[in-house]
């Protein structure tokens, strides 16, 4: 079931067509990756969902109904360009932003205390924002984004400025938010994060949605019949046995066993390969190598560029 969908959205700025008949469907209680190169149209679509700007044509459906101005209270938005007031104290600003989202002072204070203790940032309460590092500011903005428990969360490059430890902390919080019923739209250039977090993705390029679907299914659809085979036996023997039918891309003897990266011949299954190999050596392990989302991203964008 779709919690948010964009249907045939068009947006033009002067002579630039930012969105060209874009349609996406974000399943409820999922993490949805909104991907694309710089200038592809992602931020324009996010701003339309947040009603910062409006589409020239097309519509946004939110929880099954046309998007209304009152729906912004049910959306938490963490923009790529941070929006904290640098001269204000962290606690004062956090309370102010929480109350803008409809929380009363007492409720906002209680929730902020919980999150500040959880992130171990109580000491920041009376500091000015400008005294904090970029990563520290990002934690504050993350807290103020999710504080009112909105059913839809939009994170635009949420890991910017974070070291690996804090990036992993934030990833776990995003997964917990989904577990607790939130729907998350997640925009990033970090494809490893997409593989870790996202259930579904849409790839936008030159204002058009050129790829939609579930992450696992997309990776499967771009598979290249690559197999990593770890084995005990003579590497030269393996090369002689397989080279006439398959392409051996890598073949390397390791300390305890040898490993080979093999591109299977068309219409050959992994089971057929294993049946053949087991006749002359012992198998240590075998698994298919699926393309990374980085590989898929590059291939699809390149192909789209060539077609246009």
Domain boundaries along the sequence of the chain: 2-220, 224-289
**Statement: residue 7 has pLDDT above 80:** yes
Taking the C-alpha atoms of residue 168 and residue 173, their distance in angstroms, rounded to an integer, is 9
Taking the C-alpha atoms of residue 238 and residue 276, their distance in angstroms, rounded to an integer, is 10
**Statement: residue 39 has pLDDT above 90:** no
Give the pLDDT of residue 162.
Answer: 84
Structure tokens at 238: 């393996």
**Statement: residue 207 has pLDDT above 90:** yes
Query: Residue 82 — pLDDT band, cuts 50, 70, 90?
Result: confident
Give the pLDDT of residue 38.
Answer: 86
Give the pLDDT of residue 298.
Answer: 92
For 224-289, the fitting CATH number among 3.30.70, 3.40.50, 2.40.128, 3.30.160 is 3.30.70
**Long-range CB contacts for residues 61-67, cutoff 8 Å, separation at least 24:** 61/2, 61/4, 61/5, 61/7, 62/3, 62/4, 62/152, 63/3, 63/4, 63/151, 64/2
Kindly report the average pLDDT of the chain as a whole number.
Answer: 93
Question: What region, left, alpha or beta, does residue 267 occupy, with left being phi > 0 and alpha being psi -120 to 50 degrees?
Answer: left
Query: Residue 168 — pLDDT band, cuts 50, 70, 90?
Result: very high
Query: Residue 83 — pLDDT band, cuts 50, 70, 90?
Result: confident
**Statement: residue 135 has pLDDT above 90:** no
Query: Residue 188 — pLDDT band, cuts 50, 70, 90?
Result: confident
Give the pLDDT of residue 147.
Answer: 95
Decide if 2-220 and 224-289 have a common fold.
Answer: no
Give the pLDDT of residue 148.
Answer: 94
Environment class of 253 (CB within 10 Å of its CB; exposed 0-12, middle 13-18, buried 19+): exposed
pTM of the model: 0.88
- The dotted CATH code for 2-220 is 3.40.50.300
Classify strands 2-13 and 16-27 as parallel, antiparallel or unpaired: antiparallel
Residue range 120-147: average pLDDT?
92
Residue range 155-165: average pLDDT?
87
Among the residue ranges 142-146, 159-163, 229-233, the one predicted with the least confidence is 159-163
Environment class of 287 (CB within 10 Å of its CB; exposed 0-12, middle 13-18, buried 19+): exposed
Contact present, 273 and 227 (Cβ < 8 Å): yes
Taking the C-alpha atoms of residue 166 and residue 135, their distance in angstroms, rounded to an integer, is 8
């Amino acid at each position: 079931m779709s919690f948010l969908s964009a249907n045939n959205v068009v947006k033009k700025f002067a002579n630039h067509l930012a969105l060209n008949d874009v349609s996406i469907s974000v399943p409820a209680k999922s993490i949805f990756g909104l991907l694309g190169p710089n200038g592809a149209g992602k931020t324009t679509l996010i701003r339309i969902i947040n009603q910062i700007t409006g589409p020239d044509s097309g519509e946004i459906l939110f929880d099954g109904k046309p998007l209304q101005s009152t729906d912004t209270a049910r959306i938490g938005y963490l923009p790529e360009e941070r929006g904290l007031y640098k001269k204000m104290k962290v606690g004062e600003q956090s309370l102010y932003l929480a109350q803008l989202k409809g929380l009363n002072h007492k409720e906002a204070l209680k929730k902020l205390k919980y999150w500040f203790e959880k992130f171990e940032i109580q000491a920041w309460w009376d500091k000015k924002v400008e005294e904090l590092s970029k990563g520290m500011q990002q934690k504050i903005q993350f807290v103020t984004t999710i504080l009112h428990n909105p059913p839809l969360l939009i994170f635009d490059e949420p890991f910017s400025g974070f070291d690996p430890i804090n990036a992993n902390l934030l990833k776990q919080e995003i997964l917990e938010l989904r577990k607790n019923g939130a729907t998350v739209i997640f925009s990033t250039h970090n494809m490893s994060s997409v593989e870790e977090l996202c259930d579904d993705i849409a790839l936008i390029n030159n204002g058009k949605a050129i790829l939609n679907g579930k992450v696992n299914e997309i990776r499967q659809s771009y598979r290249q019949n690559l197999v990593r085979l770890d084995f005990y036996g003579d590497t030269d023997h393996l090369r002689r046995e397989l080279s006439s039918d398959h392409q051996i891309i890598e073949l390397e003897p390791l300390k305890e066993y040898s490993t080979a990266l093999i591109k299977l011949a068309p219409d050959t299954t992994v089971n057929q390969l294993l049946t053949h190999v087991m006749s002359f050596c012992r198998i240590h392990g075998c698994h298919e190598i699926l393309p990374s989302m980085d590989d898929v991203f590059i291939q699809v964008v390149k192909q789209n560029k060539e077609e246009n």
